[in-house]
Amino acid sequence: MERSESESIKGVIITGGSGFIGSHMTVALRSRGVPVAIVDRNSPPLVDVNLFVKGAIEDESTWVRLGNELSFEVDTLFHLAARTSVLESINDPSDVFESNLVGFHKALEFCRRSGIGRVGFASTNAAVGNGTTGIITEEAPLLPLTPYGATKAAGEMLASAYTASYGIDVASVRLTNVYGPGMWRKDSIVPRLFRHAVGLSDFAIYGDGQQFRDFVYVKDVVDAFLTLAECRFSGPVSFGSGSSVTVNELVKFVGETSGISIKPRRIPPKPGEMAGVEISLELASKLGLRSEVSLRDGLKMAWENFQEEQGQAAG
Ligand SMILES: NC(=O)c1ccc[n+]([C@@H]2O[C@H](COP(=O)([O-])OP(=O)(O)OC[C@H]3O[C@@H](n4cnc5c(N)ncnc54)[C@H](O)[C@@H]3O)[C@@H](O)[C@H]2O)c1
C-alpha cells in the first residue's frame, strides 16, 4: 500500500459510467472541467460527457474503438462496470466472471498499452466474505461467499499484479452499500424499500432482519475515488459510513423518512448473505477519505429524488 503526493487528474475513462455511481462520478469530474470518456453497454447517462463508447468491456473490439476515438489525454481509469447482483451471480457465475473479471483484465490491459497509470477499482466488502469476525479491516483474508464476491477478490489480485509488474497504481475500494439519488430502478435494498413504500412492489426481509449493514452516500463514494486517484494510492481500502445499522432499523428509518408505515414480509434467510458488515475506516481516514452525509440526511435526499424520478416516469 502506498500513498504519494497529490496529483491532479487530467482526463478520465469511466467504465460503467451510465450506471448509478458512474453517472454521479461523471457529473463531479465534468464540474471540475476534467474530460470524461464512458464505456458502457447501456445507453449513455443523461449528463455531459466528452466521449461515449457503447459496448461490453469483455469484448476486445470495445477497447479498440475507445482507443481509436479518444481525442484527449487520459491519465486515470475508474473501473465501475460490473454485473452487480449477488443473487444473479449465484444463478449465472459464468456471465459474472466474463463481465467482472475478464472485463477488468481488458481494462487493465488497455491501461498498460496506453500508459494510463492510475486506476480506481470498485471492489466490495463481499470480497472479504465471512473470513473475519468483528470489524472488517484491509488485513482480513479474502474468503468470498458468492461468485460476485469472488470476481471482485480476483480483480484485486489482478490489480496487485499490474501494480507490481507494470507500475500501475490501482486503488481497490471495498465499498459497502452505496445509496443516493438516481438509483430508483436498482435492485438494492434502499430503492426496493422506496418502491414498496409507494406500493410498487413487495418487500421481504430475509431471516430476522438483525443482519447489519453499512450504508454510504454516493457523493462520499465519488469523492473517495477522486481523492485516492489524486494521491495515487495503491492497494485495498475499505470505504463506507463506518457505522452499521440492522435491516430492521433501516426499514424503520425509511418509514420515518417517507412518512409511510412499512410492513415487510419475513422469509427464510438466503444463501451467500453475510451475517453482518461493520468496517474499519482507519486506513480510509488516514488517506483523507470522509463519510460526511448521515444516513438520515442521505435517505431524505434519496427519497426526494426517488419521488421526482418516479413522478416523471409515471407522467
Ligand atoms: N452500489 C453499491 O452498493 C455497490 C457496493 C459495492 C460495490 N459496488 C461496485 O461499484 C460499481 C458500480 O456500481 P453501481 O451501483 O453504479 O452499479 P450499476 O449497475 O448502476 O452500474 C454498472 C454499470 O456497468 C455497466 N456494465 C455492467 N456490465 C458491463 C459490461 N460487461 N460491459 C460494459 N458495461 C457493463 C452497466 O450497464 C451499468 O451502467 C460496480 O462495480 C459494483 O460492483 C457497488
Alpha-carbon Rg for the chain, nearest whole angstrom, is 19
1 located within any domain:
no
Output the pLDDT for position 97.
97
Structural domain total, the chain: 1
3 located within any domain:
no
109 located within any domain:
yes
Q: Rounded distance, CA 25 to CA 156, Å?
A: 21
Q: Rounded distance, CA 241 to CA 251, Å?
A: 18
7 located within any domain:
no
Q: Rounded distance, CA 82 to CA 127, Å?
A: 14
79 lines ligand 1 (CB under 6 A): no
Q: Which of 14, 20, 238 has the most ligand 1 atoms within 8 A of CB, as the residue to mutate? A: 20
From residue 278, how far is each of 84, 211, 215, 274 by CA, in Å? 20, 11, 10, 11
Written as nine digits, the cell of 190 is 434502499
Contacts of residue 282, Cβ cutoff 8 Å, sequence gap at least 6: 137
Scan for cell 488497455, then name that residue: 110
4 located within any domain:
no
70 located within any domain:
yes
- Global pTM reads 0.95
Output the pLDDT for position 131.
61
Task: Say how many Å lie between the CA of residue 197 and the centre of ligand 1.
Answer: 25
* Residue 188 near residue 194 (C-beta atoms within 8 A): no
Tell the residue nearest (CA) to atom 35 of ligand 1. Answer: 81
Tell which residue, 59, 129, 66, has the closest CA to residue 98.
59
| Residues listed for the chain | 315
CATH of the domain at 104: 3.40.50.720
Output the pLDDT for position 168.
98
Scan for cell 426481509, then name that residue: 205
80 lines ligand 1 (CB under 6 A): yes
* Residue 221 near residue 185 (C-beta atoms within 8 A): no
Task: Say how many Å lie between the CA of residue 79 and the centre of ligand 1.
Answer: 9
User: The domain containing residue 178 runs over which residues?
Assistant: 12-314
294 lines ligand 1 (CB under 6 A): no
Written as nine digits, the cell of 179 is 445509496
Q: Dihedral through CA 235, CA 239, CA 243, CA 249, nearest 10?
A: -130
* Residue 276 near residue 212 (C-beta atoms within 8 A): yes
Q: Each residue's pLDDT tens digit in the chain (315 positions)?
A: 545 556 799 999 999 999 999 999 999 999 999 999 999 999 998 899 999 999 999 999 999 999 999 999 999 999 999 999 888 899 999 999 999 999 999 999 999 999 999 999 999 999 998 766 689 999 999 999 999 999 999 999 999 999 999 999 999 999 999 999 998 888 889 999 999 999 888 899 988 999 899 999 999 999 999 999 999 999 999 999 999 999 999 999 999 999 998 888 999 987 766 678 899 999 999 999 999 999 999 999 999 999 998 877 776
Task: Say how many Å lie between the CA of residue 92 and the centre of ligand 1.
Answer: 16
Task: Say how many Å lie between the CA of residue 259 and the centre of ligand 1.
Answer: 30
Q: How far apart are the first and last CA of the chain?
A: 50
User: CA 123, 105, 228, 4 torsion: positive or negative?
Assistant: positive
Tell the residue nearest (CA) to atom 9 of ligand 1. Answer: 122
89 lines ligand 1 (CB under 6 A): no
6 located within any domain:
no
Cβ atoms < 10 Å from Cβ of 300:
16
63 located within any domain:
yes
